[in-house]
Structure 1
Amino acid sequence: MAQSLNTKVDYSGKGVSYLGFGGKVGKFLIGDKALEFYNDNNVEHYIQIPWSSINQIGANVSQKKISRHFEIFTDKGKFLFASKDSGKILKIAREHIGNDKVVKLPTLLQTIGQSLKKIFNSKKTE
């Protein structure tokens, strides 16, 4: 039986976890101690990430729109989630882990642009 780490719930909503092969639909339970995700098909397949183990959490932001996908970086690895309320989730995370650990991740175009700059800069130095 899955036991929640939280004693108080700040947010509960639907979302998708991209851990493993394919996306798993389930529910987020965000509270005072951790960010938790419980799979709809099998509640025993859950992810619990205590606030103390989160190094960074971020999402793509273009203009004023926050992407529905967000990533959580911990010592154990990277977790990718999606939710229509990702902005609300990031605001709650900011309250628990601090403003400096909530970051803007580069968009696909920014990542491609950085890669092209590296390629052209390395050719100039040769």
Structure 2
Amino acid sequence: MMGWVLRIVVAVALLGSAGVHYFLFTQGYPGIVTPLFLLNAIGGLVLAIAVLAWRHWLPALGALGFGVLTLGSYLLAATVGFLGQHDQFNSQPEYWSVITEVVCIIGGIALLALHSRARVSAGSR
């Protein structure tokens, strides 16, 4: 039961981040950033489906990696700049994105730990 609740939370976080990035895609940022926002939105959607549909460690690792890479890119943009973008952490999409990506990271780690514990339990029987 706990595994399913955690999977749903991670999937919702992935969809939340995907939604923010789709919204940013529609805003028409200059340069390479706009298509990267669309790619991020599609990736979040695909990973959310995988987390719910496939009880394997790989979607959990994908959610963790998605959160780390997306949050890392944003932190670069908010500090030194990234791909010509320089953000200031002062808008609702930025707040929501940081929250959802942190949930992806923590949830991905928790899912990996749950999967590892289940494998150890199964092996000791």
TM-score normalised according to structure 1 size: 0.29
Per residue, is there more strand in 1 or in 2? 1
Asked which structure has the greater CA Rg, the reply is 1
TM value normalised by structure 2: 0.29
Which protein has greater RCO, CA pairs closer than 8 Å, 6+ apart?
2
**Structure with higher helix content:** 2
